[in-house]
Chain A
């Protein structure tokens, strides 16, 4: 009996040794899945669908990418499953949202962190903006600062949940204003924006893309980024220009990653082809039409960005 087991075992090892390099060379020979940790129809989901729609073209993967949604708990459910159970052969990709997943891995007991995931490429960057209702007495960030200093803890600011981009921008803004504000977490960006439009809160931190669509009912006072957004809001100053020490740490980066342990040949192949796919003309046109700011970054750039964010967030969230 044991002889057979041994023989079978050896055969299996041989077979594995023979197929592994072959499969990495043929990669991908069947459709690839991309896990999105948010519900269908949300910004991450529909952007992921747009940027992967040309994957089957010969010059890119030659195989379609299928979107699989695993929503829940602000992305924790999907990413936990991905980091602990996804295959490491390159056929299961996932979309990341920075700073969300990094902040969660610092604040909560998650199965994922910067160490056990490998970035492939970045497709978009949606900075946070500081908004108030069109009828608000605040016209500039200076007005906001004056009110906050005169009325500590009275200025309510909505945003999507805790330890997401909006919250991080809020923390930076609060520090830079040198006053005390009141953060009101919501279930997502849309309800948070709704409460600014409906006058339930006095101000809000929200996505540039969503605020841009509602710009007729809002005043967009500043962008939490290092540069202005020339494409959508060329006239809105960055908070930095206005003299507040807020950088791009809260910018919501979206891109593609795989699990650590994926064969290097597969990672290299993806890292070479995926950014090209994101730059495709049709993709760019659809993203622009949907009001989604594009920022294509290569694997090395994303790696550096992840490391920088993690260091910053560890410091920022240490006191909370």
Chain B
């Protein structure tokens, strides 16, 4: 309960002002496509130079918390995920917004974020010493199987046809290979100088989701034939709270998945939302409604995204090993203030460390308050006439893609991928499995390469990848996931007559 003694510095006027500023700014940054949590934290570090370490870290903590949640705003209202983590949120959240239920979707999203976020930080506070060693135990073979587990959900993700989902996933895996490979440094598929640095996941994310949307919005032309006014239904917060709590199963699945994925260094916390969405769908009696505006999907995705925040800091704070890109950026922020994370952090700098963790906790509360306030207003975005909205999104997309690495090439890549996706979407392909392929490709590949090098020095490939309790457990999950997909696909095909070719 040591953390309770350190709430003092959090509840001062300056600290609260910093926390509120960080939260509001974070929500807005998070909602901007391209400004992922990692980017936002990196942008803020220079501002902390002139603050005391405690205040600087509070700002970073609050901004991290809020950007993760803020990414859901654009995912729900525009179907453009603010960061890869919010892809799953877009699937059902946007369907709800299109029905005029944007306020309800956003409220549920922020309440779920709060539940997941608080649980994740409680894990960070109470279980850190126990879990740190466990998390480090994950080696290349385990991460490889985790990535394969992710691949198994590609087919069923947001596609009407498993074949199309798998095809899109395969294209994503291929796109991920472009550029210099990260382990050996070999050039692959670099046909143009724009591809030299590979395809950055954020540029791909913006292009694949935003550009087809923009073109579709403009397709109607000036006459706005397709433009219908969506009536935004106000929604009471009390009802949203009770609805979220009635989706307990999804919230529990989301929190558990988020905490586990967050803890494992290098697993790419970005997949937490998608894995949890997929699991929640499998366990839900309403599984057929997923993708059509089922609030359970939003709950599962957002609890997972935010539950990841606390645990992703466990390896950083206890062993000085950043487990995620955002944690790596935070490490820089800590070092600049002369604070060395590691076993002695809570001895030498207990005040700063606990103030940081407490600010994450308070940040969750502020995120909920401001988020619910924004929800009511932001839902009206759908009423903006499509041509105006489309030009606004285009500006943000170009800005977002450029800002990631201050690179014009990323803008070109973003536009080209977006155009390609527009045509693919005409044939029933969806961007979600493609992006998942781009995320999982490098994780699977680099861990396989590393694993095979280590295996060469040991007892060979087979024993390295196929023996050991953890490997066998993960392989079982992979097999179960494939069997489940096949069985449910067969069941659906039997139940439903083959849809007409013309549809």
Binding site for B on A (CB under 8 A): 39-43, 45-46, 49-50, 53, 67-74, 76-77, 80, 107-108, 153-156, 161-163, 182-187, 190-191, 193-195, 197-201, 210, 213-214, 216-217, 286, 288-292
Contacts and interface: CB of A to CB of B under 8 A. Distances in A.
Given A41-B332, A154-B457, A213 B340 contact: yes
A186 B332 CA distance: 20
Given A39-B328, A107-B185, 13 more contacts: A46-B332, A67-B46, A68-B406, A70-B407, A77-B196, A162-B184, A162-B185, A186-B450, A199-B137, A213-B341, A214-B321, A217-B343, A289-B335
B337 A289 contact: yes
Interface stretch (B15-23, B24-32, B175-183, B382-390): B175-183
Contacts of A184: 450, 453-454
A200 B341 contact: no
A212 to B, nearest CB: 8
B129 interface: no
A155 B453 CA distance: 11
Contact of A200 (B139, B323, B330, B406): B139
Contacts of B197: 71-73, 77
B219 interface: no
A182 B446 contact: no
Nearest to A76: B180
A39 B326 CA distance: 11
Most chain A CB atoms below 10 A, which of B136, B321, B325, B340: B321
Interface in B191-211: 196-198
Nearest to A200: B139
B246 interface: no
21 contacts: A39-B42, A41-B38, A41-B330, A41-B331, A46-B45, A70-B406, A72-B180, A72-B405, A73-B197, A77-B407, A108-B187, A153-B456, A154-B458, A161-B185, A184-B453, A190-B321, A190-B328, A190-B331, A194-B265, A194-B321, A292-B335
A131 to B, nearest CB: 13
Contacts of A153: 456-457
A40 B45 contact: yes
Contacts of A200: 139-140, 454
A132 to B, nearest CB: 15
B454 A156 contact: yes
A216 B183 contact: no
Interface string B46-65: 10010000000000000000
Contact of B136 (A42, A69, A197, A291): A197
List 3 tightest A-B contacts by C-beta distance, closest first.
A289-B338, A72-B197, A41-B329
Given A73-B197, A291-B335, A214 B185 contact: no
Contacts of A40: 39, 42-43, 45, 329, 332
Most chain A CB atoms below 10 A, which of B41, B182, B336, B341: B336
B196 A290 contact: no
Contacts, number: 157
B312 to A, nearest CB: 14
Given A70-B405, A73-B198, A290 B335 contact: yes
B349 to A, nearest CB: 12
Nearest to A217: B319
A213 B320 contact: yes
A198 to B, nearest CB: 4
A191 B330 CA distance: 15
Given A41-B333, A42-B332, A214-B320, A191 B180 contact: no
B405 A71 contact: yes
A310 B196 CA distance: 25
Nearest to B326: A41
A191 B266 contact: yes
A163 B184 CA distance: 9
B344 interface: yes
B342 interface: yes
B370 interface: no
Contacts of A186: 183, 450
B454 A73 contact: no
Contacts of B433: none
B138 interface: yes
B359 to A, nearest CB: 19
A198 B179 contact: no
Interface string B163-179: 00000000000000001
